Amino acid sequence: MAKLYFVLLLVFLGGCAIEEAQPQNDAQLVIAQDFMNKDQKKVLTKIAKRQKIQLNILDLTANEIRKTLRKYPWDPGFDLVLLGSLNAQKSMKDLRFQYQETTFGIIPIGISYVTDSVVKVKHFKDLSENYLWAPADSYAQTILSAHLSYTYRNREKNNAVNKAYKNFKRGLKEHRLAFDNYNLQNTLLLCRYDTYLHYLKKEVPSRKFTYALQNKADYYADYLSLYIVAQSKHYQNAKKMLRFLHYLRANNAKFRNVFGIIEKPRKRKQPTPHTLLKFQEK
């Protein structure tokens, strides 16, 4: 009889331990991402801590995330996906999610210039017609090409538009320089806004950034995207994180600067990422 009581006591204590451990397990959230630096991870970790969420951030490429979702659609091992560029969004094509936001973060592309220069940049065309330039990151030129393909989308039906498009593209190629330390200090640099904030401005404090389309409402942009996986084990925590990220994006300039994004405009004139990806392939 004493042995029976002992066994029942062990079962009871084991059940209590499971119940105590369950809330901690429910307070978890796993993010898979392909771009974050240590400062960005630190911000998300602080957000999660305020929400009493135990956060784990995985470093994966967009293709690795896609392969995992295809192989383990019901349990990929993460709940949220954050991708750092339009190109990465191609990897999510044909995958199902509980929630997706392809324009979560708007990263303008533009031109960085040195303030004591006599160069007066007014438009991306200046890189094609007037000045030598170098690419400061691997994203901006690809995104610029997609936007140009969309902007000159009627070129197949209009010879004048087609000629202007070809001249623009040819000029970009003819004026391009290889990026090196000299160009970092002196040359016009095509880059994303986050590249300017996190790297160029720190290396050369006198550098400035222009959206290069005269009116900021007409900027060209790359995008951060966010997804909640179809069978997220911690869906409620993912939604809590998402709500807080939306709040910070709208109300906190420091948060936006850490991620190199800008405040979302009320009126969006830019083509959607889906549209840009289609034109990128043309």
Q: CA–CA distance from 90 to each of 146, 199, 204, 227 (Å)? A: 13, 26, 34, 13
Q: Which two tokens stand for residue 55?
A: 């956060």
2-106+223-271 against 107-220: fold identical: yes
What is the amino acid identity at position 243?
Answer: R
pTM above 0.75, yes or no: yes
Residue 198 is predicted with a pLDDT of 96
Residues of the chain under the 50 pLDDT cut: 2, 4-24
Residue 47 is predicted with a pLDDT of 93
Residue 19 is predicted with a pLDDT of 36
Task: Show me where the domains of the chain are located.
Answer: 2-106+223-271, 107-220
Count of helices and strands (H, E) across the chain: 13, 8
Per-residue pLDDT tens digits for 101-121: 999 999 999 999 998 766 788
CATH assignment of 2-106+223-271?
Answer: 3.40.190.10
Inter-residue contact 113 to 119 (CB < 8 Å): yes
Q: CA–CA distance from 29 to each of 24, 26, 226, 248 (Å)? A: 11, 8, 14, 19
Residue 10 is predicted with a pLDDT of 38
Residue 199 is predicted with a pLDDT of 97
CATH assignment of 107-220?
Answer: 3.40.190.10
Integer Cα distance of 19 and 123 in angstroms: 62
Burial of 67 (0-12, 13-18, 19+ CB in 10 A): middle
What is the amino acid identity at position 15?
Answer: G
Q: Is the dihedral of CA 68, 73, 78, 83 positive or negative?
A: positive
Measuring CA to CA, which residue among 171, 59, 92, 94 is closest to residue 125? 171
